[in-house]
Structure 1
């Protein structure tokens, strides 16, 4: 939520992130969509015992080794990396702006 607020405020104040920040953000969105799908697939249940939760495991989909829970871990890790990369590069365009002229929100 904060990332969305911060990007919106930057755009409203006329600041434009660099092209590579948009690439990071686009990649993050493309990774978050399948990560949320795999998270919601219901392959685990934290309210039951591990033995009962094991019965919810899905068939292994990728290389006959990774199920949807494993894929969630892999794709969400990539999404987090790209999200933090976007946040880290959003302010690269402000290096030549005087500190007093940068909007604070």
Structure 2
């Protein structure tokens, strides 16, 4: 079963992956696909948006005679990831509370 979740969670996943190590588009897609259904054509606009917001930077590196574009997290990207991770934990705790029983208090 796949739950449809918003762009904030997608941003968090991308930023978390590149926080661990720089990554190129295809590898990012493969890693994100382990938690949500996404195509490369969906991911590239997200990468451009994160880059425009100064959460990611890019650099090219030769690979088998071609250049491969790698994405690297910035200091602002790390701060954004922390914000998104905190929001996710709060959201997850509320959902867990409802799914596992008990009353939800605002």
Q: TM-score, normalised by structure 2?
A: 0.28
Question: Which of the two has higher C-alpha Rg?
Answer: 1
Bigger relative contact order, structure 1 or 2 (CA pairs below 8 A, ≥6 apart): 1
Higher strand content, 1 or 2: 2
Q: TM-score, normalised by structure 1?
A: 0.29
